[in-house]
Structure 1
């Protein structure tokens, strides 16, 4: 470890998850206890996407531990519950949303970055369904805590209901059905200030690069093979150029757009970028290589 990782100029480059057995002895030092892996990873890279929250409701004690094991300026993105997105398909989700925010997410405090809502590939764009969901999403700590207090018995005895009132709660949506390549969807996200996730999925699902919020959220799942291939020098250069443009409030000329309205508005934007090509241990090293191109300090030399 040469220097602790730090974001630079509003650019956050990191990894999706950190607990992967194949990373042990390659990214993590041989013999490192599993309980120390987050502390190590959070000093290598300045942000991590929490994905355990996608599979099940976590506990406040877990979020407190993750918060306390990481540096003061570290940021977590948190993946929203698949119960909401995949099982209920965004319908009748007020109480499940309350349970999600009561489960401990707010214990991250100032380390809480964007909340990611990944939709299933089978879910088509239905404006009314999306609108109902977007209207439910809390945008401040005060609103999130108020929503959390409407939880049901699933989180009784394991709830966290407080948050700084002024805490900004940002949301990003990742779509996986071609019907979302629709100007109406882009306009809808812009009205609600929700970021459309720029998702590179080796061509499996739509790559849409419309800017819809005051921040940009990028997920890099694999350049040639989903979850399994790394990013070469040319690909990393290309993504670095895009992130620089988005950070400065500009759009790239060759953007894959769903809307003819390519205006992104003035002003600098924060950018959050996560590598999810974890299968062959590419993710942390690709993240470090991209971070180096963008002047983001990592602890990986």
Structure 2
């Protein structure tokens, strides 16, 4: 039962020059640095394109023991009218080399368009396709929804039955569903302010701390994503310090 706070990606120009990365740090060493400052990173690149096995292997080699990479599931899988037709695209995503991450492979986050409505039969078929393991590596899946039609007991029970975590999305663009449906929780926080050095003021960080602790009967992944992205590393580290009792 571990609470990990993290960020989205690591190649971001506004983090350079002292905002997050030290001045003069080579871009080739940004993952090395970021993976020692936060406990997890959500990789957005896997949402847009397939990677190579050697890419995943390189990420693993640069990160320290105990670090976790969460992967965004391919948009070729999720951005379609009928999710049940995604079997071929899903197979390509699994076969791209994600197993090279080994025990650093965290949850796979399947992000649906915020406008996509709840279709219980189609979603059930999609959940049935998601493998529990691939080439001997255990997989965990999370789904991020947005349309208000998902805010219902039927969706929550469907996700719980398949051990799929429902992503808690804190953004005005998505209807939040704050339900624990798997043996881990996945949070995406997008309410940071550029005017606050830690992204969130102390009272909001305390609120997020309580939220994480409330779901800590299993692993928790809390990512600071988008919003005022330049503040994401500071927000993730501030929340981690709070959870460790340092602030």
Q: SS where residue 98 of structure 1 aligns? A: helix
Higher relative helix content: 2
C-alpha separation in 2, matches of 1:108 and 1:243: 25
Name the structure 2 match of 1:68: 61
Cα shift at 1:168: 2.3
User: Does 2:231 correspond to 1:282?
Assistant: yes
Higher relative strand content: 2
TM-score (norm: length of structure 1): 0.77
User: Does 2:35 correspond to 1:42?
Assistant: yes
User: Does 2:170 correspond to 1:177?
Assistant: no
Cα shift at 1:224: 6.7
Q: SS where residue 91 of structure 1 aligns? A: helix
Q: CA RMSD in A?
A: 1.9
Selected match of 2:201 from 232, 236, 241? 232
Cα shift at 1:182: 1.1
| 1:37-70 CA-partner distances (Å, limit 9, x unpaired) | 0000001111111110001111111101001000
Cα shift at 1:95: 1.3
How many positions carry a matched residue from both structures? 243
User: Does 2:182 correspond to 1:189?
Assistant: no
Name the structure 1 match of 2:175: 206
Name the structure 2 match of 1:14: 6
Cα shift at 1:33: 1.6
Cα shift at 1:289: 0.6
For residues 251-270 of structure 1, the aligned pairs below 5 Å read 268-270=217-219
Selected match of 1:32 from 25, 38, 49? 25
Task: Tell me if the contact between 1:200 and 1:223 (Cα under 8 Å) persists in the aligned partners.
Answer: no
Cα shift at 1:84: 0.8
Cα shift at 1:242: 1.3
**Residues 1:192 and 1:113: Cα distance change in structure 2 (over 3 Å):** same
Name the structure 1 match of 2:83: 90
Selected match of 2:244 from 273, 289, 295? 295
Cα shift at 1:230: 2.6
**Residues 1:222 and 1:22: Cα distance change in structure 2 (over 3 Å):** same
C-alpha separation in 2, matches of 1:11 and 1:95: 34
**Residues 1:49 and 1:280: Cα distance change in structure 2 (over 3 Å):** closer
Q: SS where residue 282 of structure 1 aligns? A: helix
Say which is worse superposed, 90-99 or 61-70, in terms of deviation. 90-99
Q: SS where residue 243 of structure 1 aligns? A: helix
Task: Tell me if the contact between 2:163 and 2:182 (Cα under 8 Å) persists in the aligned partners.
Answer: yes
Task: Tell me if the contact between 2:193 and 2:227 (Cα under 8 Å) persists in the aligned partners.
Answer: no
Task: Tell me if the contact between 2:192 and 2:229 (Cα under 8 Å) persists in the aligned partners.
Answer: no
Choose 1 or 2 for highest CA Rg: 1
